[in-house]
Chains A and B, each alone.
Chain A
Amino acid sequence: MLKESVISELQKIVGKDNVLTAPEALKAYSYDGTTSWIHEPDAVVFPTTTDEVSRIMKLANAEKIPVTPRGGGTNVSGGSVPWLGGIVMTMTKFNKILRVDKENLTATVEPGVVLQDLTMRLAKDGLFFPPDPQSFLGATMGGIISENAGGPAGVKYGVTKQYILGIEVVLANGDIIHLGGRTLKNVVGYDLLHIFISGEGTLGVITKAELKLNPLPQARKTLCVVYDDVAVAGEGVFRVLENGVIPCKIEMIDNWVINRIEEMMPIGLPKDADACLLFEVDGMPEVVEKEAEKIAEITKKYGAKEARIAPNQDEANKYWLARRAGFAAVFGKAKQVFAEDVTVPRGNIPAFIKKIREIAKTFDVEIVVLGHAGDGNLHPAVLTDPANKDHYERALKAVDAIIESAAVEFGGVLSGEHGIGLEKKKFMRKVTEPAVINMMKGIKALIDPNNIMNPGKIWE
């Protein structure tokens, strides 16, 4: 519970309508996109300027009240859940696109801008922001930066951190600092910008960002490549790349997902296929034609059963709609889903997929794969039901085994794009050197000595 005086201070800063304390409102800010990480805040505030954020932070710091920054709340790590209560600082009303600079291919945005709104605005000028977390309909720029989000396009374009030139941050004590700048090159001292990108809101509140943009590609082509063996599909990924084509997306859906999609919205995916790879290439019209043909040729050479180049955008859209529906299909079929975010080097995809199948067998649980194969971010998902205790225990063990094998055996990482938050906390220590954790703690103590910024997350 916050003191009356704190509530009235907050109301003075952002106005009465922008401070919520009704029990119903607090409940509505107790969750994010995960299934079971839930904790209520004591108040929800909606700042709309950097100055307001700074004044809120000064107040919270003086009173040692936890502050959890939150945007659209679409994250899937527990990152925006106020684990120790306190204030949820919601940025959804702090949401202007301040500038689109065609000459420099940059944009300046406030933290509450929704990615899809930005995409639509930029398209008017023939530009785009390449990172494409699939929560783009709700995800806000502050969160995208804080989680260093990525998506299918990562294989060609990389992730958020490659597209942030500079940010404005309000620190725990209310100080306003600027990191990075507006230039592509910048080597002025330590690269502190990148500590805040992927800081998961534990170091400060991002209040403005300078984004690097690309010109919108003129053409796209989609391929659906069918495999009898999911591991061979895994090999197809790096064969295409090593033969000189860099698609903007390579997505994998396995047999289980294909069949769920066909149940939900039949679009003619081959139900007996062990897996499909969906490729998208983008660029100049002549180039995408050639690249699509080349992908069909290479994948067939390396064991694909069939490679279908979508003849038109309608069919292409169908494949991508199916890919997105796959996500819902998985979540709709089980009471609880552990959607893992482990990422392995591409060359290890086939071996890792085989390992996942073994793990599923060992623990007798369903593990499905629908992920960004192009960058090794496979999202194996373990399906279970907490009500079935025995099954749930086995599912947990399967998750442990997946993480262990990905991160240790195959030289990958615990999380590729979701972040640690609460969901992956218990694995963090297992896969991170103690000296590195200590360094993180040291940085946190330096920047936020009272530990009020999104406490309880990552390494805590």
Chain B
Amino acid sequence: MKDLKELKKIEQFSDQCMKCGFCSFFCPVYQEEKMETSVARGKNFLIKEVLAGRQEFTPEMGDIIGKCLLCKRCAANCPSKTQIDRVVVGARAQMVKEKGLGAIKNFAFRKVMANRKAFGKYARLMQKFQWMMPTTEGKIKHLPDFVKGLGKRNFPALSKTFLRDQVKPVYKPQNGQQAKMRVGFFMGCAMDFVYPELGLKIIDFLTRHGVEVVVPEDQNCCGAAIYFSGDLETGRMLADLNIKAYKDLNVDYIVTGCGTCSSTLKDYQKYLPDNEDQLQRYTEFEKKIKDSTEFIIDILKVPPEEFKLKKEFEGKTATWHDPCHLIRYQNIKDQPRAILKALKGLKFVEMPNADLCCGMGGSFSVYHYDLTKKIALKKMDGIKATGADIVVTACPGCMINLLDNVLLNKMPQKVHHLLELVE
């Protein structure tokens, strides 16, 4: 009998499914493909077949379990509360265990992303060559046609100076305030390489509100793309590095402005543990993690009148996109809205289906870019219906994909992180 260790871990979740098929209504991939292999019920059935020894991890099976955004819309609406995200990640982990990662992911995850210095080096290399990429508008580049696998997509330019090269190790509260609390700032890759100003902005906001901020140099990638692809081993390595980076800093919380990072750091305990010790350490770590929106509203309790709208957004209409990693992974939906509604001079309009996945799904969009675009089209319809000038969210991953699709659909909207709007 084969060792099905990773699958055995999720067998109990897989057993929850009673095959009602209601997931089909909520699955963005099924809504495009209308095939049973696209939807949670089908994937779960096939994964159970693997558990029963009747199905191997064939290339087709790999495609099927790969074609999931992990948006958790099905899980959130499942009558029997099947945690299909855990089932899918478990199946991917089992597959990685049996078949390896494949050359591209192996290089990307283990040689580049898992090593902060190497990641920086490669990013810098890309930065040097990005003049070769045609410019769409301002700081937005699009990948040239010869990068076939990625399609002709629009991309925000890599920043000239990365965030890590600009930050100080410690920021004291401004205006001589006594520090209310001490938090560790977690930048995340996108903020580090693409949106460094945003990182500085968040640090500035926190210190202005009496928070002492420390930014450990040896923090790493959160590991989302890595462990959600089934590379739990590298995921655990990153988890351990990140836990170590903040261990002796004596911080009350660890705050990040990236919805995916905050959810990923919180969920180490859910997807990664291989033993009791890890479970305990990851669970301990989870307690410290706060998404920036959650931290500002629930912990700092910044009152509405203290949110000032930045001048350039005066009189604009904004709509909010719920990142999957905020609304469903962390149940954060009221906090960002509270901030938006507090900003005087900004008109806030809900878009239809604000919780619909933008279609990014991390590496999903690399392998299934056509599907990403189709799924994003529904998001774009929602945005159009609001007549908003700006689309606001709090996940750089979503921002990159929203930006691409707004431009592809020749829409006038600008895409912003929520905290970019705040003075």
**A interface vs B, CB < 8 Å?**
20, 22-25, 27-29, 31-35, 46, 72-74, 90, 92-93, 95, 112, 114, 116, 135, 137-138, 264, 324-325, 327-328, 331-332
B79 touching A325, Cβ below 8 Å: yes
Residues of B within 8 A of A33 (CB): 18-21
A31 to B48, CA, bound (A): 13
A-contact bits for B37-71, CB 8 A (1 contact / 0 none): 10000100110010000010010110010000000
- Give the distance in Å from the alpha carbon of A33 to the alpha carbon of B45 in the complex: 12
**B22 contact from A20, A27, A138, Cβ within 8 A:** A138
Q: Determine whether the beta carbon of A27 is less than 8 Å from that of B79.
A: no
Q: How far is the CA of A331 from the CA of B36 in the complex (A)?
A: 22
* Chain B: CB-nearest residue to A116: B25
Pick the contact of A24: B19, B20, B23, B64 (CB < 8 A).
Answer: B64
Interface size on B, residues (CB 8 A): 27
Q: Is the CB of B64 within 8 A of A31?
A: no
* Contact A138 to B21, CB < 8 A, known contacts A24-B58, A28-B37: yes
Of all chain A residues, which has the CB nearest B36?
Answer: A28
Beta-carbon contact of A28 and B21 below 8 Å? no
Q: How far is the CB of B244 from chain A (nearest CB, A)?
A: 39
- Supposing A24-B60, A27-B55, A331-B80 touch, asked if A137 and B45 sit within 8 A by C-beta, the answer is no
Q: Judging by beta carbons under 8 Å apart, are A22 and B22 in contact?
A: no
Closest Cβ neighbor of A92 among chain B residues: B34
Query: Which residues of chain B are within 8 angstroms of A22 by Cβ–Cβ distance?
Result: 60
A93 adjacent to B34 (CB under 8 Å): yes
Which single residue of chain A is at the shortest CB-CB distance from B38?
Answer: A28
Chain B residues near A332: list those with CB within 8 A. 16, 18, 80-81
Are A25 and B37 closer than 8 Å at their CB atoms? Answer: yes
User: Whole-angstrom distance between the alpha carbons of A283 and B135 in the complex?
Assistant: 59
Lowest 5 A-B CB distances belong to which pairs? Answer: A328-B79, A137-B25, A92-B34, A138-B21, A28-B36
Q: Is B181 an interface residue (CB 8 A)?
A: no
Instruction: Let me know if B108 is at the binding interface, CB within 8 A.
Output: no
The answer to whether A328 and B19 touch across the interface, beta carbons within 8 angstroms, is no
Question: Is there an interface contact between B21 and A328, defined as CB atoms closer than 8 Å?
Answer: no
Interface residues of B in 12-34 (CB under 8 A from A): 16, 18-26, 34
- In the bound complex, residues from chain A placing their C-beta under 8 Å from that of B80 are 328, 331-332
**B19 contacts A137, C-beta separation under 8 Å:** no
Give the chain B neighbours of A23 by CB distance below 8 A: 58, 60
- Nearest to A332 among chain B residues (CB) is B80
Q: Can you list 21 pairs linking A and B with CB atoms under 8 Å apart?
A: A20-B35, A24-B46, A24-B55, A24-B61, A25-B35, A27-B45, A27-B55, A28-B35, A33-B18, A33-B21, A46-B35, A72-B24, A73-B36, A74-B20, A95-B34, A137-B24, A138-B25, A328-B18, A328-B79, A328-B81, A331-B18
Question: Which of chain B's residues have a CB closer than 8 A to the CB of A34?
Answer: 19
Beta-carbon contact of B60 and A28 below 8 Å: no
What is the CA–CA distance of A35 and B48 in the complex, to the nearest angstrom? 13
Q: Which of A31, A32, A34, A35 has the most CB of B within 10 A?
A: A31
B46 touches A28 (CB 8 A): yes
Distance A138 CA – B55 CA, assembled complex (angstroms): 26
B46 engages A27 (CB within 8 Å): yes
A332 vs B64: C-alpha distance when bound (angstroms):
26
A137 to B27, CA, bound (A): 11
B35 to A: closest C-beta gap in Å: 7
A64 to chain B, nearest CB (A): 26
Out of A112, A114, A135, which one reaches B20, CB within 8 Å? A135
Question: Which residues does chain A contribute within 8 Å of B49, judged by CB atoms?
Answer: 27
8 Å CB contact of A28 from B16, B25, B26, B45: B45
B81 proximity list for chain A (CB < 8 A): 264, 328, 332
Report the bound CA distance from A20 to B23 in whole Å. 21
Distance from A69 Cβ to chain B, minimum over Cβ atoms (Å)? 15
Query: If A24-B46, A24-B55, A328-B81 touch, does A31 touch B22 (CB 8 Å cutoff)?
Result: no
Tell me the bound Cα distance from A90 to B58 in angstroms: 24
Cβ-defined contact, A114 with B36, below 8 A? no
* Contacting residues, chain A, for B61 (C-beta < 8 A): 24
Select which of B24, B26, B45 is within 8 A of A31 by beta carbon: B45
- Chain B residue numbers with a CB within 8 Å of A31 are 19, 45
CA distance A264 to B49 in the complex (A): 28
Complexed CA–CA distance, A418 and B378 (Å): 34
Q: How far is the CB of B91 from chain A (nearest CB, A)?
A: 12
Chain B neighbourhood of A92, CB < 8 A: 34-35
Q: Which residues of B contact A93 (CB under 8 A)?
A: 34
Told that A27-B49, A331-B80 touch, could you supply 13 new A-B pairs with CB distance under 8 A?
A: A22-B60, A25-B37, A27-B46, A32-B19, A33-B21, A72-B21, A90-B34, A112-B34, A114-B24, A114-B25, A137-B21, A138-B22, A331-B18
Report how far A32 CA is from B36 CA in the complex, Å: 11
Nearest A residue (CB) for B58: A24
Chain B min CB distance to A273 (Å) = 23
Chain B 328-347 interface 0/1 with A at a Cβ cutoff of 8 Å (1 = within): 00000000000000000000
**Cβ A46 vs Cβ B19 within 8 A:** no
Whether A138 lies near B46 (C-beta < 8 A) is no
Of the listed residues A20, A27, A264, the one surrounded by the most CB atoms of chain B closer than 10 A to its CB is: A27
Most chain A beta-carbon contacts within 10 A, residue among B25, B45, B77, B81: B25
Report whether B21 and A135 are in contact in the complex, using a CB–CB cutoff of 8 Å: yes
Give the chain A neighbours of B23 by CB distance below 8 A: 138
B residues 279-323 in Cβ contact with A at 8 Å: none
Instruction: Compute how far the CA of A332 lies from the CA of B26 in the bound complex, rounded to whole angstroms.
Output: 21
B60: chain A residues within 8 A (beta carbon): 22-25
Please measure, in the bound complex, the distance between the C-alpha atom of A133 and the C-alpha atom of B77, giving whole angstroms. Answer: 18
Closest to B23 in A: A138
Nearest CB in chain B: distance from A114 CB, A: 7
Report B-chain residues with C-beta under 8 Å of the C-beta of A328: 18, 20, 79-81
Looking at the complex, which one of A24, A74, A325 makes contact with B37 (CB distance below 8 Å)? A24
| Contact B36–A137 (Cβ < 8 Å) | no
A73 to B4, CA, bound (A): 30
Q: How far is the CA of A324 from the CA of B20 in the complex (A)?
A: 12
Shortest distance from the beta carbon of A138 to any chain B beta carbon, whole Å? 4
Q: How far is the CA of A24 from the CA of B26 in the complex (A)?
A: 22
Tell me which of A29, A116, A264 contacts B36 (CB under 8 A): A29
Residues of B with C-beta under 8 A to A138: 20-25
Q: A239 → chain B, closest Cβ, in Å?
A: 32
Looking at the assembled complex, report how far the CB atom of A430 sits from the nearest CB atom of chain B, in whole angstroms: 27
Question: B75: shortest Cβ distance to chain A, in Å?
Answer: 13
